[in-house]
Amino acid sequence: MSRWLPYPVISAMLLATWLLLNEDLSVAHVLLGTVVAIAGSWVLVRLEAPPLIFRRLWIILRLALEVVVDMTRSNVRVARLVLKDKRDRTPGFVRIELSVRSHYSLTLLACIITATPGTSWVNYESTSNVLVIHVLDLVDGDDWGQIIKVRYEGLLKEIFE
């Protein structure tokens, strides 16, 4: 199993993507999708990707809900900042000491931070596990490190670690 199907979860997701793309459940497409899914997971072996294990998959729904709400809210905030062209805006960098370490947690966190307008991922050092983000408007009193930790890190940890 591990030799022929090294990443079962990722292969299943690839197959599902293939079938959704073709909107077809015929035997031919299932076979072709299986070939793609297995070949794709062999590429990951070459890339030495760590195994993908979901500890608590349903928490991903809670995380998704949280992200959608935050994303919408920050979209409105950034749109307002652009239109007002406020001069007293204070952009800046924030240093956050992370406690998640797994590749998949970090990847998802990068997607979330990038997908939220107003924050962007700048630098991550794996030796010290320190992340630096750029914030478009550092409102005084907002502790971004705490916000990221409370909102996302706990959930990510529950999903992957």
Binding site for another protein (CB under 8 A): 17, 20-21, 23, 71-72, 75, 78-79, 81-83, 85, 87, 89-96, 110-111, 114-123, 132, 134-136, 138, 144-145
Q: Between residues 101 and 123, which has the closer beta carbon with respect to another protein?
A: 123
Q: State the minimum distance, in angstroms, from the CB of residue 31 to another protein.
A: 21
Q: Between residues 2 and 127, which has the closer beta carbon with respect to another protein?
A: 127
Q: State the minimum distance, in angstroms, from the CB of residue 17 to another protein.
A: 7
| Residue 60 burial (C-beta neighbours within 10 Å; 0-12, 13-18, 19+) | middle
Cα gap 124→42, rounded to integer Å: 28
Q: State the minimum distance, in angstroms, from the CB of residue 55 to another protein.
A: 21
Q: Between residues 59 and 138, which has the closer beta carbon with respect to another protein?
A: 138
Q: State the minimum distance, in angstroms, from the CB of residue 127 to another protein.
A: 14
